[in-house]
Chain A
């Protein structure tokens, strides 16, 4: 779907200036602040897939956890349809939880080893107040919906299923909560490439069948590009660029996005990059650089970048936070 069409639809989910800082101890009596998420805003239209990409430690997962209520944001708000949920509004958060579900990365750790696959799925349904019987029936139906034979898998334990099968169960479990938005936090990153493709196709099919909206979080640009309508690129707790997925990937505006795109391995040996496009590690989220967070690694950084933090501003239909976009 084109960008202009998307903008006609009211967003199903909107995040406004989400902030989450963690207080951490550094040795005896010394405290520091880790800026995990530092003012993240985005909107997702119904039926859309918003990809969120970035290196590990950039705050992707914290954003996901805020969305499903596992982490309470320090500042900012969430809006689901027309319901605005401000910080500290427990009841509001619970309302949102009922509509947003999450699929975790580690398919084994996110399943209780003492429950059968069927029981794990049924638990989510019964958490929504469904009766025992209705939950069990729901679990069987969902197993079938994610492509697993209920008669073979309902009574298995997690260790008796493969990684791909377990991830299907995790998807089924999140669907048992009747969500409208599904947060997929690195949901395919731990899988083999061939299994990954199957799960991605399953996700595509489920999205159409159940009219879902996805927030697809990954560090893998290929996968994000395949799945997403729009992407948001995060760097150290901030969105540095967002826009139509194909445009952002083919013509990055932010130097960081450009480096990410160039660092992605391609199937073509002729296009192999000789040198990594970015040197070093991202700076620590505890001691942030002044001005632009990316300037310490940015090939285009100038004096201005150390003084003033660039705001996320519109560049056509896309948004970028850089003083000197490409």
Chain B
């Protein structure tokens, strides 16, 4: 632990409370690899947000003459795709949909899964059996297969992919939330709260949720990378956004045929999927390590 987070000496009034998350973030920030990953993710996120001003040219402007230009051609810093569109601009615009499809399902599943898992874990008995067995049914299918099945059923489109992947991620998150809640519920401070006459709502709000959210959040961050890969996979299969929309998975699909002509350009969307997903994974790992250190 860094010296800054060691508690102040006896008699020294504390200026800032040495809270749990303060200490966790200090431990995370101590890791240079994580700082690099966070910087990369921040850059991608900023590009996606301000794509209009960052992108050098129109991502939809095709030019039949300058198709499949190699990297570092004048006017095409990262080359051009099979329709002569600027790859850099398309990658920047593509980050919008790719990040949205990677993050939104996990955020939605995090909220739904935590609520379901905490209710199941705290109530126990019949409610637990009802919620967890339904969750198990979804959990029994491989995640990609389930995502394909649901988005196939709902039809293609960005919204449907997000819904399908939310359904895929709710079961694992609610299972984690349920098991953590179970552990917390048997802790003595919950017994103490019950003995004090607090209502179940107060106990869950003050004593259970704050202790459950941390581990579940860390688990959810590890799903973001999976989510990005699965989302790209679904759009590669043509279940996601439709051309000419820019999205990394879709770009990878449409550049497939150009792989033998200009492999470096064709691999670019894949590289971005890989880098983003890896960064999320490394950040998540570091978070996991930081919260598992006992106070």
Chain A residues in the interface with B (C-beta under 8 A): 65, 68-70, 94, 97-98, 101-102, 104, 106, 109-116, 120, 123-124, 126-128, 151-152, 155-160, 170, 173-174, 176-177
Contact of A98 among B7, B197, B210 (CB under 8 A): B197
> In the complex where A157-B18, A160-B18 touch, is A112 in contact with B196 (Cβ < 8 A)?
no
Contact of A123 among B187, B206, B295 (CB under 8 A): B206
Instruction: Give the docked Cα–Cα distance between A126 and B201 (Å).
Output: 13
A-B pair count, CB < 8 Å, reads: 87
> In the complex where A157-B19, A160-B18 touch, is A114 in contact with B210 (Cβ < 8 A)?
yes
* A109→B189 contact, CB < 8 A: yes
Closest A residue to B213 by CB, please name it: A114
Shortest A63–chain B CB gap in Å is 14
Instruction: Give the docked Cα–Cα distance between A70 and B198 (Å).
Output: 12
Instruction: Give the docked Cα–Cα distance between A110 and B198 (Å).
Output: 15
Instruction: Give the docked Cα–Cα distance between A324 and B14 (Å).
Output: 63
Instruction: Give the docked Cα–Cα distance between A69 and B192 (Å).
Output: 11
Chain A to chain B contacts (Cβ below 8 Å), 11 pairs: A102-B195, A111-B192, A112-B193, A112-B207, A115-B206, A120-B189, A123-B202, A123-B206, A123-B207, A128-B196, A157-B295
Instruction: Give the docked Cα–Cα distance between A176 and B19 (Å).
Output: 24
Instruction: Give the docked Cα–Cα distance between A102 and B193 (Å).
Output: 10
Instruction: Give the docked Cα–Cα distance between A164 and B7 (Å).
Output: 18
> In the complex where A151-B13, A157-B295 touch, is A110 in contact with B188 (Cβ < 8 A)?
yes
Interface size grouping (class) on chain B: 20 to 34
* B192→A104 contact, CB < 8 A: yes
* A101→B196 contact, CB < 8 A: yes
* A127→B20 contact, CB < 8 A: no
* B192→A155 contact, CB < 8 A: no
Instruction: Give the docked Cα–Cα distance between A114 and B17 (Å).
Output: 12
Contacts of B18 in A (CB 8 A): 157, 160
Instruction: Give the docked Cα–Cα distance between A241 and B11 (Å).
Output: 49
Instruction: Give the docked Cα–Cα distance between A115 and B13 (Å).
Output: 18
* B17→A155 contact, CB < 8 A: yes
Shortest B185–chain A CB gap in Å is 12
* A127→B211 contact, CB < 8 A: no
Closest A residue to B187 by CB, please name it: A109
Contacts of B191 in A (CB 8 A): 65, 70, 104, 110
Closest B residue to A126 by CB, please name it: B202
Contacts of B242 in A (CB 8 A): none
Instruction: Give the docked Cα–Cα distance between A112 and B204 (Å).
Output: 12
B256 CB-CB contact with A under 8 Å: no
Contact of A70 among B13, B20, B195, B202 (CB under 8 A): B195
Instruction: Give the docked Cα–Cα distance between A162 and B27 (Å).
Output: 24
Instruction: Give the docked Cα–Cα distance between A158 and B18 (Å).
Output: 11
Closest A residue to B214 by CB, please name it: A114
* B7→A124 contact, CB < 8 A: no
Contacts of A127 in B (CB 8 A): 193, 196-199, 202
Contact of B197 among A94, A151, A152, A158 (CB under 8 A): A94
Binary interface encoding of chain B residues 168-206 relative to chain A, with 1 for a CB under 8 A from any of its CBs, else 0: 000000000000000000011101111111110010001
Across chains A and B, which 10 residue pairs bring their CB atoms closest together, nearest first? A127-B198, A159-B295, A109-B188, A68-B195, A124-B196, A110-B188, A97-B197, A112-B189, A114-B210, A110-B192
Contacts of A102 in B (CB 8 A): 192, 195
Closest B residue to A97 by CB, please name it: B197
Instruction: Give the docked Cα–Cα distance between A111 and B188 (Å).
Output: 8
Instruction: Give the docked Cα–Cα distance between A45 and B295 (Å).
Output: 43
Contacts of B295 in A (CB 8 A): 113, 157-159
* A123→B197 contact, CB < 8 A: no
Instruction: Give the docked Cα–Cα distance between A202 and B20 (Å).
Output: 31
* B20→A113 contact, CB < 8 A: yes
Closest B residue to A69 by CB, please name it: B195
Instruction: Give the docked Cα–Cα distance between A1 and B125 (Å).
Output: 49
Contacts of A158 in B (CB 8 A): 295
Contacts of A111 in B (CB 8 A): 189, 192
